[in-house]
Chains A and B, each alone.
Chain A
Amino acid sequence: MTTAAIDADALECIMQEPPSSSLVMEARNLNFFYGKHQSLFSVSLPVQRNAITALIGPSGCGKSTLLRVLNRIYALYPGQHCTGRVVLNGEDVLHEQKRLRWLRKRVSLAVETQTGPDPIEHDQALRAGTDLARLRARVGMVFQKPTPFPMSIYDNIAFGVRIYHRKTKAEMDVIVEKSLRRAALWDEVKDKLHAPGLGLSGGQQQRLCVARGIAVEPEILLLDEPASALDPVSTAKLEATLLELKKEFTIVIVTHNLQQAARIADYTGFMYLGRMVEFGPTNGLFMNPQLQQTRDYVTGRFG
């Protein structure tokens, strides 16, 4: 177990990281800007394979922002940019390499990885279509509000797969069933695969979104407060699903529900005011928080 204490401005940061050989993804020293306003300060996040990593913290601490850096969905919005490093299975995905094969006439991809790019140029690079799409095929996301597409349950799941592969109907049937089983939704919808996805209940819709996300077999699945719009029963089902899923996938989940993190996460990171304050195995963080701030938050002093 490596321990590193990084001083970030006035706030201390304590990270108890999993062994580096077990990491699928690593974010290092991320600084995120909305225009001129900075919302992430030197944030690092190690993500262990086949484990659930939770991000907790009070509203506005930057946990959702951090999540959205990991699949670069922030690239949709001009004026938002990020410096630092995100490595997915050894490949730097935050900054594109200048690959001649992928060079498109419209967009310049030449971006420095060592020292960090000029933000404006970096944004131009981020608009590149194909490489971002590849990243997003490897990093899936489920959002706070269930967002089934306006099509049948079957098509919802098949949609992501069809972007990348050409499958026969039989192959697709198999994929759809597998995804729905993994998301613990199969039994509930197997008779109505061609009914509209919007006709399901909230909890079912969210599990549909999970199934949709895992159908493309991503290396990592990101979930942004997935249960906040659900009732307790649906939440419990979703959590059980995630625990099952972690055997085959790697999961990062943002949650404002401390008990949820305690229930399902292997590693937890506590964030505050745009900084990663403390990171480590969940049990340790909750039972024996090393920093005063963490202690105050997990005991409910503030939040």
Chain B
Amino acid sequence: MQVHELRRKIVDRLFTIACFGATVLALVALVFILWSLVIQGIGSLDLHVFTQSTPAPGSQGGLLNAIVGSLMMCMLAMIIALGIGILAGTWLAEYGGRTPYGAVVRFMNDVLLSAPSILVGLFIYELLVRPFHGFSGYAGAVALAFLATPIVTRTTEDILNLQPHTLREAGIALGTPQWRVIRQILWRAATAGLVTGGLLGFARISGETAPLLFTALNNQFFSLDMGHPTASLPAVIFQYALSAYDDWRRLAWAGSLIIAVVVLSISIIGRFMTREKFKP
């Protein structure tokens, strides 16, 4: 009996240590990554990065055009994603979510959520690049919208489902048309959640590379015209990292740091906004 007890204790101890070890290992690896990123990135970060466009190898330059290009495409993508995503999420939560068709839509939304982003790039290439014989920032924005919309849809549906049904009934009991109940009462009550959905979507797409490779391509020069190939941070990083030039590689690190900081900040803000609301 004692041996059995001892064995149980040992197994449990080992298990606890293993779990703790796993956590430490993972945290160490991740801290290592972030640390490398900061060290390499900070070293390459100076004012030029934000004021000059991407250079030819050997000359000085920055990432201005890439940053601006990314911003433009992400903004446009979010406008599209919010427009479609909020409406679709509202439909799932308020209208047809409980029908078989609604189940199919929800399922497909979830699949799109986790689908490989490079395939979205291929699709938009077929849809918007090939027929028009040219890469463009618009195509890139649409591809990004593809990736952000499922996130917005999901968070919209979730946050609307969290609203107490008495809120709906109180609106309807006054004789309010349903769309006004949704717009003036439900969406207003769910504002924090909807904004978070938008932020999460933005955070996701700001770092996406693959879908931009065949849609917006890249642009060495500064341009505000989205009808032609548009520079973006991820695309520039991809090109520069795999190159043989030292200064290009340094810029790639700077760009990675910028992206990581942006994504982390947005995630933190989004998390902060819904912290209180989600507590039951």
Contacts and interface: CB of A to CB of B under 8 A. Distances in A.
Contacts of A134: 175
A149 B167 CA distance: 7
Contacts of A149: 167, 170-171, 184-185, 188-189
B204 interface: no
A71 B174 CA distance: 10
B174 A163 contact: yes
A143 B166 CA distance: 7
A143 B188 contact: no
Majority-rule SS of B interface residues: helix
Contacts of B174: 136-137, 140, 159-160, 163, 212-213, 216
A129 to B, nearest CB: 6
Nearest to B165: A76
Contact of B175 (A143, A164, A212): A164
B178 interface: yes
A144 B166 CA distance: 9
Given A133-B177, A150-B189, A76 B170 contact: no
Range, interface on chain A = 20 to 34
Contacts of B191: 150
Contact of A136 (B168, B175, B180, B184): B175
Given A132-B175, A133-B177, A209 B170 contact: yes
Contacts of B169: 73, 76, 141, 143, 147
A277 to B, nearest CB: 27
Contact of B188 (A137, A144, A151): A151
A150 B175 contact: no
B47 interface: no
B173 interface: yes
A133 B177 CA distance: 7
Contacts of B168: 76
A134 B177 CA distance: 11
B268 to A, nearest CB: 25
A96 to B, nearest CB: 15
A216 B171 CA distance: 13
A216 B164 CA distance: 24
A251 B122 CA distance: 64
Interface string A147-184: 10111000000011001100000000000000000000
Nearest to A71: B173
A133 B176 contact: yes
A132 B166 CA distance: 18
Interface string B135-177: 0000000000000000000000000000010111111111111
Given A73-B172, A212-B174, 8 more contacts: A76-B172, A132-B175, A133-B176, A134-B175, A136-B174, A147-B166, A147-B167, A159-B184
24 contacts: A73-B169, A76-B169, A132-B175, A133-B176, A133-B177, A134-B175, A136-B173, A136-B175, A140-B173, A141-B169, A143-B166, A143-B169, A143-B170, A143-B173, A144-B166, A147-B166, A149-B184, A150-B189, A151-B188, A159-B176, A159-B184, A160-B176, A163-B175, A216-B174
Closest 10 CB pairs of A and B: A136-B175, A133-B175, A141-B173, A160-B174, A150-B189, A147-B170, A137-B175, A150-B188, A147-B166, A143-B166
Interface of A: 71, 73, 76, 129, 132-137, 140-141, 143-145, 147, 149-151, 159-160, 163-164, 209, 212-213, 216
